[in-house]
């Protein structure tokens, strides 16, 4: 049975649609194996599939394309929730943060931005390539960057500010000085890594969780969509494993931004199904019953050679779970290899 696609209300009263289209790897000129690019995929998502939530970032290099599609859509601007993010290399000063926002604002060309997130706790020095953001590092702390974002929020050009990839540890540090509580924390989340402790903490603080990579990534022996529990529930609900994984996340109160350029998959991803409490609980137990599945899969952010993520260690990020496909476990992982 099809379930409605709900909105979630943020701590500032804004509403975020529960399912959005992720635009990572949609940079200008990039096409998929079918020759489709981000503009066509996004146009189809909005016009044909009914998406009203779009997730991009300065890092993705496709803000101009996203803005063009939203501006020329038959759907009123105010009905589409657009998220973008502050890049790691634009944080060395308040002026750099302002310039980065102005650049995103101009490229999108939408009159306002619905949500602007700090993409990572760490910035990256344009001179040395080294990470900063924590106390004692050579550059502004993420708390200072957040203060810069708060000032821009006051301008009214962005309706919501938030963070991404923040752990409980780093949120606690941020909240000690923040005047505005982040409305959103966008993190990797899927049945192999639900990060429930973080979600519970954020809920208590009034911070909404959005999952990126909600369907995982097709890595050897870590493919979420091949999981037997998801397949069984998909059969029970006359749906697919991807629909089950996304419906599970939404049932737990988290929005999702899956990426796809195929119209069939785009339509499928927004077609949620109703899950019973027992089905939700079964999915919750997947990573507990098989520890080999407890892993992060967004390996594009990780450096397996020096065991860092954009220059910070798992300990500095406050992550207990690492990247098993890279032989890069965290303290919460019970094994060091998936082989």
Q: Which amino acids are annotated catalytic?
A: 60
Helix axes 63-72, 38-47, angle to 10 degrees: 30
194-219 burial code (b ≥16 CB/10 A, e <16):
bbeebbebbeeeebbbbbbbbbbbeb
- HSE-CB at 133 with a 13 A cutoff on CA atoms is 30
Give residues with Cβ within 8 angstroms of 173, minimum separation 6: 142, 143
DSSP for 33-73 reads TTS--HHHHHHHHHHTS---EEE--GGGT-HHHHHHHHHHS
> Is 193 annotated among the ligand-binding residues?
no
Please answer whether residues 246 and 214 qualify as being in contact, where contact means their C-beta atoms are separated by less than 8 angstroms: yes
Give residue for tokens 């490229």.
107
CA distance 183 to 160: 7
Give residue for tokens 């020759």.
35
Tell me the two tokens of residue 276: 């019973």
Binding residue positions for substrate: 119
Binding residue positions: 119
């Amino acid at each position: 049975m099809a379930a409605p696609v709900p909105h979630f209300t943020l701590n500032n009263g804004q509403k975020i649609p529960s399912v959005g289209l992720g635009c990572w790897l949609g940079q200008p000129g990039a096409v998929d194996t079918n020759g489709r690019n981000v503009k066509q995929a996004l146009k189809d998502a909005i016009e044909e599939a009914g998406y009203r939530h779009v997730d991009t970032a300065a890092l993705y290099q496709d803000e101009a394309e996203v803005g063009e599609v939203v501006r020329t859509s038959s759907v009123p601007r105010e009905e589409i929730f657009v998220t973008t993010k502050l890049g790691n290399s634009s944080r060395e000063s308040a002026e750099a943060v302002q310039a980065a926002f102005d650049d995103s604002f101009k490229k999108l060309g939408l009159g306002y931005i619905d949500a602007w997130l700090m993409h990572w706790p760490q910035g990256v020095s344009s001179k040395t390539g080294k990470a900063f953001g924590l106390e004692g590092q050579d550059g502004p702390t993420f708390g200072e960057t957040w203060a810069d974002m708060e000032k821009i929020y006051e301008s009214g050009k962005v309706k919501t500010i938030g963070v991404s990839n923040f752990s409980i540890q780093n949120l606690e540090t941020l909240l000690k000085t923040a005047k505005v509580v982040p409305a959103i924390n966008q993190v990797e989340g899927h049945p192999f890594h639900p990060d429930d402790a973080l979600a519970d903490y954020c809920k208590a603080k009034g911070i909404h969780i959005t999952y990126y990579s909600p369907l995982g990534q097709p890595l050897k022996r870590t493919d979420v969509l091949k999981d037997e529990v998801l397949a069984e529930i998909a059969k029970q609900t006359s749906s697919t494993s991807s629909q089950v994984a996304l419906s599970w996340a939404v049932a737990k109160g988290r929005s999702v931004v899956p990426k796809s350029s195929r119209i069939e998959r785009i339509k499928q991803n927004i077609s949620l199904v109703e899950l019973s409490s027992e089905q939700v609980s079964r999915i919750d137990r997947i990573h507990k019953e098989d520890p080999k599945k407890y892993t992060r899969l967004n390996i594009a952010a990780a450096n397996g050679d020096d065991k860092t993520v954009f220059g910070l260690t798992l300990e500095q990020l406050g992550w207990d779970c690492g990247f098993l496909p890279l032989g890069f476990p965290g303290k919460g992982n019970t094994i060091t290899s998936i082989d």
